[in-house]
Chains A and B, each alone.
Chain A
């Protein structure tokens, strides 16, 4: 019996590793490496050779990307967001001067070179026009669709500067959208251009409206967590008064890890130290709440892989069923591998002990464990949903995840739920970060840890 169980664990470890690698494989934002070369070539066309190796940072206009996806459903919208829509792009900076924005699909979105010491002879506006139009033709795919709407010239630093604004209609973008280009020239040298996109209000509004609605609906969930925290502190006061056995050192260590993770994360529910204190108190109280299921850490990461697969499949199903959900993942504030780790694990470390530990422990005497766990699910579902059309689909997807985590907590305890949530989050969030082995390794940390726990030889029971 023991051998059979161990063999099943080995199989589970292998399956979760394979599934996690399949989820991570070829996911992530491409184009970071090519962006430097493309920018260098564009500078060369302007007669400027940038020096040194460029640094590339990922940036994006979240609402614009999602508005494009909503306006042009399916792969066409994603392609626009990564290309001619200019919603997700790399900013490339050369150490010797020169900066460019290159979209993920390789479109030069903006360019600025240093002002040359000898920019060439100053041109009258009428003479400069042909040169500007030649530069415009290089910047955009369909120059004939663009027209000059305004021009400006002025004298500064002994040179004449020219600036022109071009408007290009919708082009490949959805109907009602507008493209603009601003180009600057000093003397007879083009020094910069910058493209912008003006979305149709209703397309943008559906997305920003949904985001604002979700932000509003998040408030009751935060209120729920606040009430829960009050209950936790009252329970802590009681346990001190009754001199109950608590896990203070374990709680302190956990709180420290939570606070550190929160300090690296881009977004936290409250300040990272406060999160750390709350998590520390909950973990310290776990031995007091004897009716909670026993922790079996080894099953958490495998469950997390399954939940990640369900989450991603749910999004695909929403799109397939005629609804809308973002395909372009949320743009992170920073793309360091540590940010992926912190963004994924900080919510798991804080929310799981509260929703799968404290709430069931406090409410189980009245509504039972499952009642309390199902009460936690809607609270958790309101915390981090993505905008969808219809809005209910967003909550349905989150609710599936939360109910899944409740099931995990029932069979693997609070610790198992923390590992499952952290693993699930890293695998789902992996797509927001650049392609590369560093980020893949970070995304797989939880699964590898789970596999080690599953394979670790145990005493015969």
Chain B
């Protein structure tokens, strides 16, 4: 019965969270980065050089910045492709030592907008200059225009507070131990394995790792090594600082999901739209959400223990952090609310609440910013998957409780 009530409340709150009119803070993406890349490959001139494979992408303003690099790594081709009609901006960055940093006639014509007016080339060390009428086009790269750049989303103060709370949570779980939850340990371990399995796709989310002169496999190896170290550290932390065991707070989770969804709609995590561009977006989203939820639970634990000395401090502290998160958190609003939610409930529920808010935050953010069909379906499956897992966990718990309460056999 409680499950039905919880499920109904989830649906009702989710409907409210979704139907509420919100002015979008970021222009939504109406197509995937792969489609944007295909358009650039179709519409831009070849520039006289091999582009290589698509290595990564970033959402910038109303378009995608897509990056190509050939396997020898000597140059990068990047293009900003707007969602709608508009000029595609491109740029080539090449290794400075490259003798092949030589503009082709086609590239020179594009740069000078002089079709057929480009005359004789003059070969020089590391570059090729082109004579165009009375003026000379110096062939040193980078060539092309400046691409639009994404505005910084950093909130150093909020970030510092969250890191401090994580440390406090780690220490508090050691000093004030509870009954460790095997389920959360397995969950973290499982999603880390899931993310490791998706690692070959993930370097696309870090295009800044690809550099001219550095072969792409090396950049991917660096990313993979860093990811493995980070994920290994998280597995270690989940074993060493385990979440406290507790049943899923079915009555509270709809609220957490709705709060997260609203936070995502008001202040979407814009970086999630890059994740939505992956082919394996669903497992990656699930993995990231579980890890972020577990971390929110850990930080919430720290906050809870720090404010434990008086009831008033707890109310004031949680309210202040909640208000600060909503007011100044920017794209960190969802995380801040997840931490506050995890700290506000009893200890065994903290990780569940953190997870609920994060799940809603991911859902709300993607609903707002990733508007192409495949991404929307994945988002829907993502939220239904979360609800299903909670239902299964609750039923399993209820079943265990019923078994343990049955009278002992004589």
Interface members, chain A 219-257 (any B CB < 8 Å): 219-221, 223-224, 227, 230-231, 233-234, 237-238, 241
Interchain CA distance A202-B100 in the complex, whole Å? 9
- Whether B186 sits at the interface, judged by CB under 8 Å, is no
Which residue of A204, A219, A227, A231 is within 8 Å of B97 (Cβ)? A204
Q: Which residue of A lies closest to B227 (CB)?
A: A220
Task: Say which one of A28-36, A151-159, A209-217, A304-312 lies at the interface with B.
Answer: A209-217
A216 touches B171 (CB 8 A): no
Chain B residues with Cβ under 8 A from A378's Cβ?
A: 225
Please name the residue on chain A nearest to B96 by beta carbon. Answer: A208
Q: Are B239 and A366 in contact (CB under 8 A)?
A: yes
Q: Are A216 and B175 in contact (CB under 8 A)?
A: no
Among candidates B73, B99, B233, residue contacting A202 with C-beta atoms closer than 8 Å: B99
Complex Cα–Cα for A227 and B228 (A): 12
A232 to B229, CA, bound (A): 16
- B residues in contact with A200, CB < 8 Å: 99
The answer to whether the Cβ of A389 comes within 8 Å of any Cβ in the partner chain is no
Across the interface, do B233 and A178 meet the contact criterion of CB distance under 8 Å?
no
- Structural contact, A209 and B225, CB atoms closer than 8 A: no
Would you list which residues of chain B between 238 and 267 have a CB under 8 Å from chain A?
Answer: 239-240
Which secondary structure dominates where chain B touches chain A? helix
Q: How far in angstroms is the closest Cβ of chain B from A381?
A: 11
Q: How far is the CA of A328 from the CA of B247 in the complex (A)?
A: 65
Assess whether A238 is in contact with B175, with CB atoms less than 8 Å apart.
yes
A75 neighbours in B (Cβ, 8 Å): none
> In the complex, are the beta carbons of A205 and B226 less than 8 A apart?
no
User: Which of B206-214, B346-354, B374-382 faces chain A?
Assistant: B206-214
User: Which of B114-122, B135-143, B215-223 lies on the face that meets chain A?
Assistant: B215-223
**A217 pairs with B211, CB closer than 8 A:** no
Given A208-B213, A223-B229, A234-B167: A216 and B219 interface contact (C-beta under 8 Å): yes
Main secondary structure of the interface of A (DSSP, over half): helix
| The residue from A217, A366, A382 contacting B236, defined by CB atoms under 8 A apart | A366
Chain A: number of interface residues, binned into ranges: 20 to 34
B317 within 8 A of A: no
Kindly state whether residue A198 has any CB partner on chain B within 8 Å.
Answer: yes
B36 vs chain A, min Cβ distance (A): 26
A220 to B226, CA, bound (A): 4
Answer whether A241 and B175 are a contact pair too, CB < 8 Å, given A208-B97, A212-B211, A217-B225: yes
Q: Is A386 an interface residue (CB 8 A)?
A: no
Are A238 and B226 interface neighbours, CB within 8 A?
A: no
| A209 to B215 Cα, complex, angstroms | 8
Q: Which of A168-215 contact B (CB under 8 A)?
A: 178, 198-202, 204-205, 208-209, 212-213
Which one of A198, A213, A379 lies within 8 Å of B125 (CB-CB)? A198
A-chain residues with CB within 8 Å of residue B101 when the two chains form the complex: 201
Q: Digit string of B164-178 for contact with A (CB within 8 Å is 1, else 0)?
A: 000100110011000
A205 contacts which chain B residues (CB < 8 A)?
74, 95, 97-98, 213
Task: For A363, list chain B residues within 8 Å (CB).
Answer: 236
B97 pairs with A216, CB closer than 8 A: no
Instruction: Indicate if the CB atoms of B229 and A224 lie closer than 8 Å.
Output: yes
B230 in the interface, Cβ–Cβ < 8 Å? yes
Q: Contact partner of A382 among B97, B174, B225, CB < 8 A?
A: B225
CA distance A346 to B100 in the complex (A): 41
A122 within 8 A of B: no
A288 interfacial by beta-carbon distance below 8 Å? no
Residue-wise interface mask of B (292-331) relative to A, using a CB-CB cutoff of 8 A (1 in contact, 0 not) = 0000000000000000000000000000000000000000
Contact with A along B102-126 (1 / 0, CB 8 A): 0000000000000000000000011
Residue of A204, A223, A231 touching B226 (CB-CB under 8 A): A223
How far is it, in angstroms, between the C-alpha of A205 and the C-alpha of B222 when the chains are bound? Answer: 20
Provided the pairs A200-B99, A201-B97 are in contact, do residues A217 and B221 lie with their beta carbons within 8 angstroms?
yes
**Is B95 within 8 A of A208, CB to CB?**
yes
Is residue A403 contacting chain B, with contact meaning CB distance below 8 A? no
Please indicate the chain A residues that have their CB under 8 angstroms from the CB of B213 in the complex.
Answer: 205, 208-209, 212
Q: Is residue A391 within 8 Å, beta carbon to beta carbon, of the partner chain?
A: yes
Closest to B98 in A: A201
Report the nearest A residue to B229, measured CB to CB: A224
- By the criterion CB–CB under 8 Å, are B230 and A227 in contact? yes
B100 touches A201 (CB 8 A): yes
Assess whether A238 is in contact with B174, with CB atoms less than 8 Å apart: yes
Q: By the criterion CB–CB under 8 Å, are B97 and A230 in contact?
A: no
Q: How far is the CA of A320 from the CA of B190 in the complex (A)?
A: 46
Is the beta-carbon distance between A201 and B229 smaller than 8 angstroms?
no
Q: Which residues of B contact A366 (CB under 8 A)?
A: 236, 239-240
Report Cα–Cα, A204/B74, bound state, in Å: 13
Contact B170 A217 (CB under 8 A): no
Alpha-carbon distance between A224 and B225 when the two chains are bound, in angstroms:
9
Would A219 and B171 be within 8 Å (CB), given that A201-B98, A212-B214, A213-B218 are in contact?
no
Say whether B170 contacts A216, CB under 8 Å.
no
A238: chain B residues at CB < 8 Å are 171, 174-175
Which residues of chain B are near A219, meaning CB under 8 Å?
222, 226
Q: Is B229 a contact of A216 with CB atoms below 8 Å?
A: no
The closest CB in chain A to the CB of B212 belongs to A212
Inter-chain contacts of A382 with B (CB < 8 A): 225
Chain B residue nearest to A209 in the complex (CB):
B213
Q: Is the CB of B222 within 8 A of A216?
A: yes
CA distance A362 to B211 in the complex (A): 35
Task: Give the distance in Å from the alpha carbon of A224 to the alpha carbon of B125 in the complex.
Answer: 41
Q: Chain B: which residue is nearest A216 at the CB level?
A: B222
Q: Are A201 and B99 in contact (CB under 8 A)?
A: yes
* Residues of A that sit less than 8 Å from B by CB: 178, 198-202, 204-205, 208-209, 212-213, 216-217, 219-221, 223-224, 227, 230-231, 233-234, 237-238, 241, 362-363, 366, 378-379, 382, 391
Residues of chain B touching chain A, judged by Cβ–Cβ distance below 8 Å, are 73-74, 95, 97-101, 125-126, 167, 170-171, 174-175, 209, 211, 213-215, 218-219, 221-222, 225-226, 229-230, 233, 236, 239-240
Given A198-B125, A212-B211, A220-B222, 4 additional A-B pairs, CB 8 A = A201-B101, A213-B215, A238-B171, A382-B225
Please name the 5 residue pairs, one residue from A and one from B, whose CB atoms are nearest each other, closest first.
A201-B99, A220-B226, A220-B225, A205-B97, A213-B218
- What are 21 A-to-B residue pairs whose CB atoms are below 8 Å? A200-B99, A201-B97, A201-B98, A201-B99, A201-B100, A201-B125, A201-B126, A205-B74, A205-B98, A205-B213, A209-B95, A209-B213, A212-B211, A216-B218, A216-B219, A217-B221, A217-B222, A220-B226, A224-B229, A230-B167, A234-B170
